[in-house]
Amino acid sequence: MDDVYRDMEEDLDLYDTNNYPKEHPLYSSKNKKVLSKMKDQCAGRVIDEVVAIRPKMYSIIEEKKITSRRQKV
pLDDT digits (tens, 9 = 90+) for 6-32: 888 899 999 999 999 999 999 999 999
Examine the domain organization and report whether 36 and 46 are in the same domain.
no
Examine the domain organization and report whether 32 and 17 are in the same domain.
yes
Q: What is the chain's percent helix, strand, coil content, to nearest 5?
A: 15, 35, 55
Examine the domain organization and report whether 3 and 23 are in the same domain.
yes
Partners of 47 in the β-ladder: 62
Tell me what the mean pLDDT of segment 27-40 comes to: 91
Instruction: Give the C-alpha distances (Å, rounded to integers) separating 66 from 10, 58, 62.
Output: 30, 11, 6
The whole-angstrom separation of Cα 55 and Cα 27 is 27
Examine the domain organization and report whether 32 and 9 are in the same domain.
yes
Q: How many domains does the chain have?
A: 2
The identity of residue 21, as a single letter, is P
Q: Is the pTM higher than 0.85?
A: no
Provide the sign of the torsion angle of the four alpha carbons 64, 7, 16, 73, taken in this order. Answer: negative
Domain encompassing residue 72:
41-73
